[in-house]
Amino acid sequence: MPEIPDLESYASALRPRLIGARLENIRIKNPFFLRSVDPPLEAVFGRTVTDVRRFQKRILIELEGQLFLLIHLMIAGRLHWYPAGGTKSPRAGLATFAFTSGSLVLTEAGTKRRASLHVLAGEQGLATLDRGGIEVETADIETFRAALTRENHTLKRALTDPRLFSGIGNAYSDEMLHRAGLSPLLLTAKLSAAQTETLYRAARDVLAEWTERLGRNAETSFPTKVTAFREGMAVHGRYRQPCPVCGSPIQRIVYAENECNYCPTCQTNGRILADRALSRLLREDWPRSLDEFEDRFQKLKPPDA
């Protein structure tokens, strides 16, 4: 699912293309994509775009008269831009937003339709979809600490809870925790003041660095490779690859459609965290340390591997 840096890159690329342009119509292939009824979809037709920005984990397009289009890409949704008068015709997608400056097409991979569009009126309408999470980039340390310790959860869960923190998901929470040298399963109630400050600074640095990096590309071309697995990430999506800090193989916990990636040396004092499904299956055979894991892995490798 696109997170803060990815959504900011989309917003940066869309602002010069959409602000001042008029929305002519919206063609929706699947009616389930539209999740609101009041105002009606037709209410936004013919209105001029006044702003484009990120709203938590969504893209917000503001139109004159304080009407808002709120687009949630979920896991597999992506945006594509086709300038007016260009040589390429807009591809078929879940939805096509036709502006006087070009067409914005939303596609969604797979068969599950999770991406959504809300048409909202005024700040009050926008507030109905506010999950309440703080923006780490602008929050001070005390606001961050209060959000982090509001409920006693693992750090991984707390950082990805939209009621606590806005716009953070699996990928960048992994990067933040690695940068801070903290276990994803450490409980927030057990976090020391020093650890909280370390995580606060790591979270802000990771978001700032990746937002700046992706934003540079958005200045020259529309984002086409929005993915949770990026070259240059320290741990996310790098299972079994060496940690850039210590060289230990990155480990992961897989649960449902999500995964948690970490370095056992940098974050868990060499301990391999239990994967819920595998640890139940293996029980006493589950490796407790990185050395034990490596020994088991070598024994399981085919001779010619």
Can you give the CATH number for the domain in which 38 is found?
Answer: 3.20.190.10
Per the structure, the complete domain to which residue 228 belongs is given by 134-305
Per-residue pLDDT of the chain (305 residues; tens, 9 = 90+): 789 999 999 999 999 999 999 999 999 998 899 999 999 999 999 999 999 999 999 999 999 999 999 999 998 899 999 999 887 777 778 999 999 999 999 999 877 888 999 999 999 999 999 999 999 999 999 999 999 999 999 999 999 999 999 999 999 999 999 999 999 999 999 999 999 999 999 999 999 999 999 888 777 788 877 777 788 999 999 999 999 999 999 999 887 667 899 999 999 999 988 765 544 443 444 445 555 545 554 554 555 54
**Residue 69 burial class via C-beta count within 10 angstroms: exposed 0-12, middle 13-18, buried 19 and up:** buried
Residues 172 and 290 placed together within one structural domain of the fold: yes
Residues 174 and 287 placed together within one structural domain of the fold: yes
Pick the last residue of a domain from 79, 105, 127: 127
Query: What total number of domains does the chain contain?
Result: 2
Residues 120 and 149 placed together within one structural domain of the fold: no
Residues 105 and 161 placed together within one structural domain of the fold: no
Structure token digits, residue 176:
């933040």
Pick the last residue of a domain from 127, 159, 188: 127
Name residue, tokens 């400050």: 197
pLDDT of residue 226: 77
Residues 110 and 17 placed together within one structural domain of the fold: yes
One-letter amino acid at 102 equals G
Pick the last residue of a domain from 105, 127, 149: 127
Nearest to 57 by CA among 139, 100, 116, 110: 116
Could you tell me if 44 and 63 are in contact, meaning their C-beta atoms sit under 8 angstroms apart? yes
Residues 15 and 84 placed together within one structural domain of the fold: yes
Residues 38 and 103 placed together within one structural domain of the fold: yes
DSSP 8-state code for residue 110:
S
| CA 201 – CA 66 distance, rounded (Å) | 36
